């Protein structure tokens, strides 16, 4: 796509009565190899190529897309979107001003520049290291993947940006068995970089860590149930804030009144210990972008500062509904999705506390978090603890399995009474109405004074 094609599509979009039009183009190359049970299970290379046109009038919006990127196809997509609005108007797009590149995910070896045999060798080494760790590891999987996405966004306000994005990730899973019981361990480091990130990883260490988690949990007794203090580790521990609170701070929820934090800007919603940030401009990070998928520069947005709600995460349409400026959080999985407000790298900022576990007489240490579910409207959540340890008299007493954390986002924020000094980020994919996008979750070690712990023992 070039500027002439983009401008013509925007003209056609506005001719239908819109007051704002935008075109999003992408050219994405993907590679992935997965080895399971000693065999290459999948070896995939692919390319996604296309563009989408969005038209707005006020807070009404229509979207159309095409995998054919020609002036004729883009004009037809623009006309289709414009006709859906059924409005009349005479607006014209402004002359483009090309904004400078903001490379946040540089790649020495982007996807497509390295042969799949190198991916297969790394995936196989991850599988073999996990399987060889212990005879009780009965199944293992190693996978490597990378993505290189070239994006152009142009709109009727004269914005024209290009953004290149590279991501690479290792995934290793180990399954331990004992009788009829099975437990799983997983590690999945990733970065906003090319194949060079994968080559530089200590793959054996990650494989052994996944195997160690599975083996620890297979021998662990079941967790006690009740209300206890809980210390939650960094990295994927941040999934609690991401799910239980982060989604409730997106304009996707807030603009429609579907959030427990609606109308609470400037109010205290968390402990004084809590400062939470979304930052899409962190170089080399998994969730970073130079510009978001609406052409807005990414940046550091302080969501909560010392317990006080300061900002929401806002896209263009959400900003129109809320009468607020976008924050660089408009995101989409691909050109086949219209964008909406999404998180990037979202984390609880570092604090000053130490020795949190020693202050717990009886409670739980959640070393690794697993999956869960949340209701954004109420903030109610439940999350599995993948690797947990029981605390007794201020010390780690024993590993425990089957633990879940159950609560409400707004209540948990108020009960965080200690925040550690070192932020650790974990890489994942977040699904919402604009598809699946890469996000970082994270925090330091934190302590929640009281939360409901689900388990099998009274």
pLDDT value of position 86: 77
Please choose, from the candidates 127, 360, 114, 351, the residue with its C-alpha nearest in 3D space to the C-alpha of residue 229.
360
Residue 343 burial by CB count (10 A; 0-12/13-18/19+): exposed, middle or buried? buried
Judgement on whether residues 50 and 133 belong to the same structural domain of the protein? yes
Q: Report the alpha-carbon distance of residue 209 to residue 174 in Å, rounded.
A: 9
Average pLDDT over the chain reads 95
Mean pLDDT along residues 303-313: 98
pLDDT at residue 159, as a whole number: 98
Contact between residue 207 and residue 394 where contact means Cβ atoms under 8 Å apart: no
Tell me the per-residue pLDDT of 322-380, one tens digit each, with 9 for 90 and over: 999 999 999 999 999 999 999 999 999 999 999 899 999 999 999 999 877 778 778 88
* pLDDT at res. 290: 98
Are 35 and 140 members of one domain? yes
DSSP H helices, 86-183, are 116-132
Domain's final residue, options 218, 253, 286: 218
pLDDT attached to residue 16: 82
- Strand bridging mode 226-232 / 362-375: parallel
**How many CB atoms neighbour CB 67 within 10 A?**
11
Encode pLDDT of 198-254 as tens digits: 999 999 999 999 999 999 999 999 999 999 999 999 988 888 899 889 999 999 999
Give the domain extent around 164.
3-218
What local confidence, expressed as pLDDT, does residue 85 receive? Answer: 83
Average the pLDDT over 12-34 and give the result.
95
pLDDT of residue 457: 66
Distances from the Cα of 18 to the Cα of 21, 255, 450, angstroms? 7, 21, 51
Whether 458 shows a pLDDT value over 70: the answer reads no
Query: Residue 414 contacts by C-beta under 8 Å, 6 or more apart in sequence?
Result: 269, 270, 271
* Residues 235 and 209 grouped into a single domain: no
Q: CA-CA distance, 244 to 263, in Å (whole number)?
A: 18
The tens digit of pLDDT for each residue in 35-46 reads: 998 999 999 999
Co-location of 405 and 267 in the same domain: yes
One domain, residues 79 and 187: yes
Structure tokens at 395: 């010390």
Count of CB atoms within 10 A of residue 124's CB?
A: 18
pLDDT at site 91: 83
Q: Are residues 177 and 278 in the same domain?
A: no
- Give the DSSP letter of residue 114: S
pTM over 0.75: yes
Among 380, 419, 444, CA closest to 238 = 444
Enter the tokens of residue 87: 């409005």
Q: Within this chain, do residues 230 and 183 fall inside the same structural domain, yes or no?
A: no
Angstrom CA distances, 383 to 258, 275, 332, stand at 21, 22, 26
* pLDDT on residue 238: 86
What CATH number did the domain enclosing 187 receive? 3.30.2290.10
Examine the fold and report which residue of 199, 218, 237 is the final residue of a domain before the chain moves on: 218
Q: Are residues 290 and 425 in the same domain?
A: yes
- Whether 192 and 275 map to the same domain: the answer is no
% of the chain exceeding 70 in pLDDT: 99
Residue 308 · residue 404 · CB < 8 Å: no
Quote the number of domains for the chain: 2
Of the residues 218, 246, 261, the one at which a domain ends: 218
CA 144 to chain centre: 18
- Other beta carbons within 10 Å of 2: 10
Which residue intervals of 235-371 are DSSP H helices? 239-241, 251-254, 316-322
Q: Per-residue pLDDT averaged across 305-313, rounded?
A: 98
142-198 per-position pLDDT tens digit? 999 999 999 999 999 999 999 999 999 999 999 999 998 999 999 999 999 999 999
Same domain, 181 and 241: no
pLDDT tens, residue by residue, 88-147: 667 899 999 999 999 999 999 999 899 999 999 999 999 999 999 999 999 999 999 999
């Amino acid at each position: 796509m070039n500027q002439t094609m983009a401008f013509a599509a925007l003209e056609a979009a506005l001719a239908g009565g819109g007051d704002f039009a935008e075109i999003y183009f992408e050219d994405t190359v993907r590679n992935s190899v997965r080895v399971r049970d000693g065999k290459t299970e999948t070896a995939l290379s692919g390319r996604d190529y296309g563009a989408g046109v969005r038209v707005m009038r006020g807070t009404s919006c229509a979207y159309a897309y095409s995998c054919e990127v020609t002036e004729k196809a883009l004009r037809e997509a623009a006309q289709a979107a414009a006709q859906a609005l059924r409005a009349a108007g005479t607006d014209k797009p402004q002359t483009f001003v090309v904004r400078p590149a903001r490379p946040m995910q540089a790649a020495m070896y982007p996807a497509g520049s390295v042969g799949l045999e190198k991916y297969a060798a790394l995936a196989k080494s991850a599988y073999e290291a996990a399987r060889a760790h212990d005879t009780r590891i009965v199944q293992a999987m190693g996978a490597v993947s990378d993505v290189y996405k070239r994006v152009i966004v142009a709109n009727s306000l004269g914005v024209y940006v290009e953004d290149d994005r590279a991501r690479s990730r290792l995934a290793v899973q180990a399954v331990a068995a004992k009788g009829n019981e099975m437990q799983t361990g997983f590690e999945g480091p990733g970065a906003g970089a090319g194949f060079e990130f994968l080559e530089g990883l200590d793959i054996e260490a990650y494989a052994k860590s996944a195997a160690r988690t599975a083996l620890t949990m297979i021998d662990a007794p079941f967790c006690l149930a009740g209300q206890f203090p809980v210390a939650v580790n960094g990295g994927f521990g941040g999934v609690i804030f991401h799910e239980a609170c982060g989604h409730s701070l997106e304009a996707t929820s807030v603009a429609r009144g579907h959030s427990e934090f609606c109308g609470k800007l400037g109010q205290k919603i968390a402990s004084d210990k809590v400062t939470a940030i979304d930052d899409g401009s962190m170089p080399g990070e998994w969730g970073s972008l130079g510009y978001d998928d609406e052409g807005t520069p990414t940046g550091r947005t302080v969501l909560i500062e010392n317990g006080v709600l300061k900002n929401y995460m806002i896209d263009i349409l959400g900003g129109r509904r809320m009468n607020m400026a976008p924050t660089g959080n408009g995101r989409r999985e691909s050109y086949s999705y219209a964008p909406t407000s999404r998180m990037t790298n979202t984390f609880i900022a570092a604090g000053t506390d130490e020795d949190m576990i020693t202050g717990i007489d009886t409670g739980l240490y959640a070393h690794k978090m697993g999956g869960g579910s949340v209701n954004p409207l109420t903030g109610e959540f439940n999350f599995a603890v993948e690797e947990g340890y029981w605390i007794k008299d201020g010390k780690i007493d024993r590993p425990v399995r089957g633990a879940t954390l159950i609560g409400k986002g707004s209540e948990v924020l108020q009960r965080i009474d200690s925040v550690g000094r070192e932020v650790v980020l974990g890489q994942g994919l977040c699904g919402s109405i604009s598809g699946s996008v890469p996000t970082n979750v994270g925090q330091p070690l934190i302590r929640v004074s009281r939360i409901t712990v689900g388990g099998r023992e009274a």
